[in-house]
Amino acid sequence: MSSKGKILVAMSGGVDSSVAAGLLQREGYEVTGVTLKLWGGPSDTGCCSVSDVTDARRVADSLGIEHHVFNFGDEFEDHVVGPYVRSHAEGLTPNPCIECNRHLKFDKLIRRAKALGFNLIATGHHARIVEFNNGLCIARGADFSKDQSYVLHMLDQGQLQQLKLPLGEMTKTEVRKIAASLDLRVADKPDSQDVCFISNVKGSRKKFLEQRIDLTPAKVLDKNQRIVGEVESIEMVTIGQRKGLGLSGQGAPKYAIEVDAEKATVTVGEKPDLYCSTTEIKDLNWIDAPYPNTVEVQTSAHGRTASATVTSSVEWIEPHRKVAPGQSLVFYDGDLVVGSAIAG
């Protein structure tokens, strides 16, 4: 069988990317696997760990394909870890996985692949690439519970033309069955956590941040700007947070409704105060022309969508929970990703 061409598959050591490599090989592509070594710090867990590199290499061996490791550690520090820390210092809530996709997996990796003679790359993301007007766009994967279109919203036309997403039409159960049929050792491997450079151990995020920045105590204010408490570090507080504010047992539950890093204050309110009719945005981007009609807006990787119209801000059709500044808002028309912005 003649080869469909050379393709570089990003293999994280998990079941999804392993099956992606196996499927593309079965389709007739000349597959080479690559694992990105991004983080080697003390919280070396998730999709960047040494054990995951080993798992990816063993899967490649079982498939009979070449496997390489690209060390993008410096770029990961510059484009993901550094901005993550600075965002917390500024009172923002960052999306490190999105920035990793934006700068490394679908920029640096594509450029490296082209330099090595690969016309295509592939990943194991649960999303689809579909035709849209005169180009392409990202669409939700068939398995809604595993859909990862939210974290791929930034892909441009050039990147989409060079990308394959073999799992887009599959459920996770089907992926694991294929892994078992291919006798892959990772068939039952659990999914990795989201933030690969911070472990799941309680207190790890605080420990990580305090090693890089000075954490700032902050006053906790009520809606009338009266001091009602104090938190150890404003960098650890995000909009909507309830725990860790030191206000338990003081009447109705209180939530952080505003975080002001410059003034070192956290304003709290009750649950109705968490809702708003408008969300200010920046970095608005449409895949094609701006949508004059209602879109569905997703504000977190696995969150539910809500209807809104989008101009220079997001106007919610019904009151919506406040979105933490720094979070990505992704706009959908049905299953199609049609635009995005960042909460300001």
Inter-residue contact 52 to 13 (CB < 8 Å): yes
| Rg of the chain on CA atoms, in Å | 22
The candidate with the shortest Cα–Cα distance to 168, out of 340, 335, 48, is 335
**For residues 270 and 284, is the Cβ–Cβ distance under 8 A?**
no
CATH assignment, 6-181: 3.40.50.620
Q: How far apart are CA 245 and CA 266, in angstroms?
A: 9
Under the banding of pLDDT at 50, 70 and 90, the label for residue 194 is: low
Side chain identity at 94, as an amino acid letter?
Answer: P
Q: What are the pLDDT digits (tens) for 69-104?
A: 999 999 999 999 999 999 999 999 999 999 999 999
Q: Does the pLDDT value for residue 1 go beyond 70?
A: no
Q: What is the CATH number of domain 273-343?
A: 2.40.30.10
The tokens describing 193, both together, are 């956590």
Q: Say what the pLDDT of residue 204 is.
A: 87
Give per-residue pLDDT as tens, 270-293.
999 999 999 999 999 999 889 888
Q: pLDDT value at position 202?
A: 76
Between 15-27 and 50-63, two packed helices, what is the crossing angle to 10 degrees? 20
**3-class DSSP state of 2:** coil
pLDDT at residue 25 in the model: 97
Q: What's the token pair of residue 297? A: 């807006």
pLDDT in tens, 309-338: 999 999 999 999 999 999 999 999 999 999
Catalytic residues: 100, 196
Query: Is the Cβ–Cβ distance between 241 and 271 less than 8 Å?
Result: no
In angstroms, the CA 127 to CA 196 distance is 21
The predicted structure's pLDDT at residue 46 = 53
Task: Output the pLDDT for position 43.
Answer: 47
What are the angstrom distances between the C-alpha of 277 and each of 266, 307, 320, 329? 21, 11, 6, 15
Mean local confidence (pLDDT), 12-33: 96
Maximum C-alpha span of the chain = 74
- Say whether pLDDT at 134 is over 50: yes
Q: Which range has the top average pLDDT, 23-32, 35-44, 199-208?
A: 23-32
Q: Percentage helix, strand, coil, to 5, in the chain?
A: 30, 30, 40
Q: Which amino acid is at 192?
A: S
Mean pLDDT, the chain, whole residue set: 93
Instruction: Give residue 58's pLDDT band: very low, low, confident or very high (50, 70, 90).
Output: very high
CA–CA separation, 107 and 115 (whole Å): 12
Is the pLDDT at 165 greater than 60, yes or no? yes
Domain residue extents for the chain: 6-181, 214-269, 273-343
Q: In this predicted structure, what is the pLDDT of residue 196?
A: 82
Beta bridge partners of 316: 308
Query: Which pTM value belongs to this model?
Result: 0.93
Q: What is the DSSP string of 120-168?
A: EEE---SEEEEEETTEEEEEE-S-GGG--GGGGTT--HHHHHTEE-TTT
The model's confidence at residue 39, banded by pLDDT at 50, 70 and 90, is: confident
Q: What are the pLDDT digits (tens) for 116-125?
A: 999 999 999 9
Q: Are 18 and 179 in contact (CB under 8 A)?
A: yes
pLDDT band at 201 (very low <50, low <70, confident <90, very high): confident
User: Residue 97: phi, psi to the nearest 5?
Assistant: -65, -35
In CATH terms, the fold of domain 214-269 is: SH3 type barrels. (2.30.30)
What the block records as the tokens of 89 is 């210092």
Query: Does residue 47 carry a pLDDT above 70?
Result: no
- Nearest-angstrom CA–CA distance, 255 and 270: 6
- Of residues 53 and 336, more confidently modeled: 336
Please say whether the beta carbons of 305 and 293 come within 8 A: no
Distance CA 54, CA 40 (A): 14
At 49 the pLDDT is 63
* Residue 41 pLDDT level (bands cut at 50, 70, 90): low
Mean pLDDT of 225-242: 94
> What number of helices (H) and strands (E) belong to the chain?
9, 17
Instruction: Please check whether residue 237 is in contact with residue 218, taking contact to mean a CB–CB distance below 8 angstroms.
Output: yes
3-class secondary structure per residue, 112-126: HHHHCCCCEEECCCC
pLDDT value, residue 238 = 94
pLDDT at 255 over 90: yes
Cα–Cα dist 197/301, whole Å: 18
Dihedral of CA 116/46/85/320: which sign?
A: positive
